[in-house]
Structure 1
Amino acid sequence: MISEEDGDCDNPDSDYCAEIIIGYPVFSIPEKKKIELKINKFVTNEMLIPIFDGNVVNSFNDLVNSFFDEYRQFKTDISDSYQEWFIDRSATVKFFNNDFISLAFSESTYLGGAHPNSYTMFAVLDLKSGSSITLEDIFIDGYKPILNGIAEKEFRKLKEIGKHESLDEAGFWFDDNKFSINDNFALSDEGLTLYYNNYEITAYANGPTELVIPLSKISELIKEGGILVEFMKQ
């Protein structure tokens, strides 16, 4: 865990405060050291994504310093502005078994503007290889139209949208007004979880959408020999 501040953050009357918090797991797989290194490198690389365009970040010190440098420059340019900047970046384990692990990379920030921002990105890693798993690795060829149909039913149920009601009129933005899955997904014993971040399919005020599709509803799409075959038998 990294937690650092710049300024007088403990003083409620202070007009100078920037805070950064970074937390992530470090995995230990003694019998599979190469896979352990690969997974930990993947996590570290995700955590080191630059906060600001154009920054070069090779370490957590670089990440922290770039954040504070930007804040100091902001306060120099607009000295009478009262803004507390913060970034809270984390990686957590959403689910794991002997075959795969689902991770959630989340970030909450305020870097000026009308409101804070946040996002969550999922990743599913194969514990036998350490590689990322895609939807194409899980499902049969031609799965997408069928999965779209199944997911849309779950989405309409979640959002209480009628079968024939327009998604656009209900406040959701999909190309050509047709529901579509994205590739931001996790796997767990609950099912296939799709995550739509703020602004992705609807207004900020409506928040993000986490859509869970039970595996029992997509069992016919699971690829033979894929990562979910044995899991479905449990």
Structure 2
Amino acid sequence: MTKFISPLLFLAAITLFACNQSQQNTDSTSAKTADSAATDTIAYTIEDYRLESEVETEVTDTMGKTYYQVRYPKFDEANLGELNRYLESRLSFIYPDTSSETIDEAAKTFIKSFDDFQKEEVKSPFPWYTNTEILVPVNTPLYLGLEVRTDNFTGGAHGSYGVLFTNYDLQDKREINLNEIIADGKMDSLTQIAETVFLENEKKARGEEAPISSFFFEDNKFTLNDNFLLKKDSLLFLYNIYEIKPYSDGITELAIPYTQIENLLTPKAKEYISQHSQL
């Protein structure tokens, strides 16, 4: 399987934190999607963090100062403290070249990177920024599906952005991997079905057939990554910018209906998916 690849993964370092605001999650539209509107799902508040650099740039435009900010759900610490720490680790995962384990560390690293760069002979005339938000598109009593959205600018012709899904078992308090969703020996079958759906989607979008060689797959061989989410009716994969297409094509979503892969799913996967119908 290919891994999530995007320029944002190659940023030198990041940073964050200064003010901590908390707002109660009182309406389902701001913090939950239609997949998670039930009253028996776990509740959370929304936390906001932001850290700004004190170093000025020649051009401020509408961006103001260089900053790093993140918005994410915070769950009950007494019962779901492990989940909160897991979420924080996912924020740092966006930038794997760093050793940051907390939002604080990640933020301070990002701001320091900018401040140090501005001391060089060639410096940025524009401020940098990083915005990260964790959404909760799937919230069931057993399974939590999270969506980490990030956009940033650290110089160059344009910024970068990406989406990472992460899946969490609320009962076992651990991350869920794709090999727990697809039965042993069935990954090739999933890949074949996914390729068919992928090419059909591309044909509809382009108005003509597009061979696999039109994309960035290694050795012109279709592959699935492990950036997935268990939706109500489908197993959703997402390819980020530059991963299989040029920047101008943006991200690519690939939804594989469960009706096409029911015999490939593990009993545990079916249990996760069944939670949707109970909401």
TM-score by length of 2: 0.71
Matches within 5 A, 1:9-28: 12=60, 17-28=65-76
In 2 relative to 1, CA 56–123 (structure 1 residues): closer, same or farther, beyond 3 Å?
Answer: closer
SS at match of 2:163: strand
In 2 relative to 1, CA 175–62 (structure 1 residues): closer, same or farther, beyond 3 Å?
Answer: closer
- The match for 2:264 is 221
Q: Distance in 2 between matches of 1:97 and 1:52?
A: 29
Which of 130, 138, 146 in structure 1 is aligned with 2:181?
138
Q: Distance in 2 between matches of 1:133 and 1:212?
A: 18
- The match for 1:42 is 86
- The match for 2:273 is 231
Matches within 5 A, 1:42-121: 42-49=86-93, 51=95, 53=97, 55-78=98-121, 81-121=124-164
- The match for 1:173 is 216
Matched, 1:6 2:53: yes
For each residue in 1:139-187, what CA deviation from the matched residue of structure 2 results, as whole angstroms up to 9, or x when unmatched?
Answer: 221111111111112211222279974211xx31112312111111011
- Quick one: higher RCO (CA 8 Å, sep 6+), 1 or 2? 2
Q: 2:178, 2:226 within 8 Å by CA — same for their partners in 1?
A: yes
In 2 relative to 1, CA 172–230 (structure 1 residues): closer, same or farther, beyond 3 Å?
Answer: closer
Q: Distance in 1 between matches of 2:210 and 2:188?
A: 20
- The match for 1:147 is 190
- RMSD of aligned alpha carbons: 2.8
Gaps of 5+ in 2: 1-47
Gaps of 5+ in 1: none
SS at match of 1:205: helix
SS at match of 2:119: helix
Q: Distance in 1 between matches of 2:70 and 2:252?
A: 24
Per-residue deviation, 1:123: 0.9
Amino acid at match of 1:95: V
Q: Distance in 1 between matches of 2:62 and 2:170?
A: 48
Larger deviation, residues 71-80 vs 93-102: 71-80
SS at match of 1:90: strand
Amino acid at match of 1:85: W
